[in-house]
Amino acid sequence: MAKRLVPSEEALKFAVDSQLLGELGEKLVTKNYVALSELVKNAYDADATRVIMRFTNTRLGGPVDNTGEIQITDNGCGMSFEQVQAAWMRIATTHKVDKPISEKFGRPRTGNKGIGRFACQRLSRHLTLRATARVGAHQFQTTVVNFDWTTFVPGTDLTEIPCQYETTFSSTGKPGVTLTLRDLREDWLEQEFNMLRRQIVMLTVQEGARRKGFEEDPGFEIKLDAPEFPGGVGILIDQLMNAGWGMLRGQVDHDGSASLSLEAKVIGTKSFVLTEQYDRLRGIHFEIAFVPGDKKYFRNTKALTKNVAQTLRQFGGVRLYMEGFRVYPYGDPGDDWLGIDRDVARRKGTVDDKVLQGLAIALKLDASRVLLLYPRHQSLIGRVHISTSKESPFVVKMDREGLVENDAYRRLVEFLRISLDWMTLWYAVFLRRFSRERRRQVEQKFLDSTGEKIGDPTKVLHSALDVLVDRATTESKAGHKQADTTVVRQAREVIEARVDEAQAELALLRAVASTGPLVFAFAHEVKGTIGTLDTNAGSIESISRSVKGGLRTQLHELASSLREASHRFGQITRLFGVFSTAQTLSKKRIPVCKALRLVVEGFGFVLDEFKMSVDLKSIDEATKTRLMTEAEFLSIAVNLLSNAIKASIASQGKQIRIEALRNGDLKLRFLDRGVGLSKNRWEDVFEPLNADPEDRIYKQLSVKVGDTELATLGRGTGLGLSIVRGIVESHRGSVKFVKPPSNWKACIEVTLP
């Protein structure tokens, strides 16, 4: 049969059935959260800096007439009508293959295969696309297209189904795209919503970049507006930063005073006012999130993806901003501008700051090793904001890459590092508390499995060892390895948890061991000074005998002054001697009145100076404590009495009373007529470094007390009550402020079983 060539206009052509959209949607987009994350990626590819996701009546179990709506709005470059027609309306376009880098910021495009439009068909029955783009110097074009996916029925040619649209022009407008998905095909589960957050978490960490040949990328912010889901409202980057272990914030006020706050898992909220002034850093503030490598330490795992470690390696770091704009290269991968990774690499563990050293001891940490827990730079997500006002001491380099490393810059680094040091101390406390709680939980599970009721923690450990030994013996006799049962696994966990907790407590022993020699050395030097003062006083008195008149009187006065100084130093030495002679671990029943009298005598120099008295008359001489070390009891008395003295001096109070009552438990009460303390602050002062929350003591003390007396009393580090509570609670007791009797301003009560 002869062949006939058919003209091209009559040749066979492919037709596309509308069922293709459904088929591709089902095959390429299997989950709701995957579908929606693709739409967010499209906004990122369009050089958007912000996208808002609104969920309305979408959660499973919502209103009965729930049709559901999801709206995604971005501020990207948008699309003109021609772009909608050529790109959005064309299946399997090669646009992202031909242009893999975005035009404005040079972002590597993340979307692929045109999944965005399939995602819309997968999620809802109706879609409205609204796109605005700049098409001229002062002209914007807005195109609105309505898609009714129910009309795309199998058997219908895809190219023959009309989609209604309209396009308008205006001299004003804002580029971007809004996708409104109505009449959702499925309600959303909370688990799906959390998975969506995890899918797009990496995009939110990108807080700015500078790519050669493109405009500076300010970053990509995703805002959630989904009040029907827990944590569904807010900026996703903020949620991510709050998902880790803790959030550290700091600021320098207009007067140069610096303050910090920390919100962290288990630890709760802590605050700290730095003793040093930072006058050159006025107006600076920062927020730094610590995201450790172990997810069990996170406050919220729902906001984090499985590849969070990979994300942090690429995008973690503390970035610097001036008036909202990034200063490069601070915070870029590999940039260790704070010297954190350098110190971590060389295993720097010692706390240098004296106040933080005191805090470490109060928190029962080893100040020589605690900074070994320092987070790496990539485990931090942070923003530091500095000002560019005329008075700003910060100077940008000529090449615009970084700041001149002048004194202000060095002070900034110093401020941030001491802030992170403080946070690391609390992280160490968290690890200790976390390991203790984990130990309690695994021990309880073990006891529940074995049916035992053991109160002594040591016996629990022995019981766990017995289980493992019995299992090993059984296996040995049987000649083969038996399956690991639940109780054996739990026994192993008990031992592991106990070891973890023991390592944490080892820090306390190191700290205590280091303080004894220091106190002894100091007391020895003071005794030498006393001897010198007495010798010099005697020499001056001897010389005075050979002179007459006014000079002789002056020499006598000088000698008397030296002897008075010797007397005061002697009183201070006796106070230190209280502890240097009590550094024994032996426990005994301590006579309360005798011990308190020794402490009062140690403070004699300041009591005499301000004509104050301490009343011990109501205490029975026979009253004794239960078994405890002498150093522990004296530490309680010294700290509480010194606080009462300082409060009294500040308000010119003249009397302090100490009571001791034995009614089963021993109750000690320290009463003073000082400045008092508001009831809502009674617990605050037990936090380390929270010495004077109402700012009513130390300003007045600095005027009324000399340097020698104030140095001995303490300048308000706020460690005393924390130390007292630690000692008392170790003996299963309690310490708290209670309502004082009439005519008294404050009363703190210690209960010792």
Q: Is 402 left (phi over 0), alpha (psi -120 to 50) or beta?
A: left
**Are 311 and 194 within one domain?**
no
Distance CA 410, CA 551 (A): 54
Q: Does residue 647 lie in a domain region? A: yes
User: Residue type at 139?
Assistant: Q
| pLDDT(413) > 90 | yes
**Are 412 and 289 within one domain?**
yes
Last residue of a domain, one of 175, 191, 225: 225
**Are 62 and 208 within one domain?**
yes
Q: Does residue 511 lie in a domain region? A: no
**Are 195 and 343 within one domain?**
no
Per the model's pLDDT, the better-predicted residue between 455 and 105 turns out to be 105
User: Residue type at 33?
Assistant: Y
The mean per-residue pLDDT over the stretch 490-518 comes to 51
**Are 353 and 482 within one domain?**
no
Q: Does residue 361 lie in a domain region? A: yes
| pLDDT(686) > 50 | yes
| pLDDT(509) > 50 | no
User: Which of these ranges, 182-186, 298-302, 342-346, 653-657, has the smallest mean pLDDT?
Assistant: 298-302
**Are 724 and 621 within one domain?**
yes
pLDDT at position 250 is: 96
The mean per-residue pLDDT over the stretch 176-190 comes to 91
Number of domains in the chain: 4
The two structure tokens encoding residue 243: 């998902």
| pLDDT(279) > 70 | yes
User: Which of these ranges, 63-67, 556-560, 720-724, 727-731, has the smallest mean pLDDT?
Assistant: 63-67
Pairing relationship of beta strands 665-672 and 746-752 according to DSSP bridges: antiparallel
**Are 648 and 612 within one domain?**
yes
Distance CA 521, CA 137 (A): 80
Q: Does residue 538 lie in a domain region? A: no
Q: Look at residue 391 and give its three-state secondary structure.
A: coil
Averaged confidence pLDDT in the chain: 79
Distance CA 517, CA 538 (A): 32
**Are 53 and 193 within one domain?**
yes
**Are 395 and 468 within one domain?**
no
Q: Does residue 249 lie in a domain region? A: yes
**Are 394 and 284 within one domain?**
yes
β-partners of residue 753 are none
CATH code where residue 120 lies: 3.30.565.10
Distance CA 301, CA 303 (A): 5
| pLDDT(228) > 60 | yes
Query: Best-predicted range by mean pLDDT among 459-463, 501-505, 733-737?
Result: 733-737
Residues 132 and 173 sit within 8 Å (Cβ to Cβ): yes
pLDDT bracket for residue 604 (50, 70, 90): confident
| pLDDT(72) > 70 | yes
* 22-51 pLDDT, tens digit each: 555 555 566 788 888 888 888 998 999 999
**Are 98 and 169 within one domain?**
yes
**Are 32 and 140 within one domain?**
yes
Distance CA 238, CA 251 (A): 18
Q: Does residue 640 lie in a domain region? A: yes
pLDDT at position 1 is: 46
Residues 284 and 257 sit within 8 Å (Cβ to Cβ): no
pLDDT at position 178 is: 96
* 163-178 pLDDT, tens digit each: 889 999 999 999 999 9
Q: Does residue 546 lie in a domain region? A: no
pLDDT at position 702 is: 56
| pLDDT(460) > 90 | no
* 462-478 pLDDT, tens digit each: 666 666 656 656 655 55
| pLDDT(159) > 70 | no
| pLDDT(408) > 80 | yes
Q: Does residue 408 lie in a domain region? A: yes
The two structure tokens encoding residue 458: 């040591």
The mean per-residue pLDDT over the stretch 624-630 comes to 88
Distance CA 434, CA 558 (A): 60
Say whether pTM exceeds 0.75: no
Last residue of a domain, one of 499, 516, 544: 499
Q: Is 106 left (phi over 0), alpha (psi -120 to 50) or beta?
A: left
What domain range is 444 assigned to?
436-499
The mean per-residue pLDDT over the stretch 620-649 comes to 88
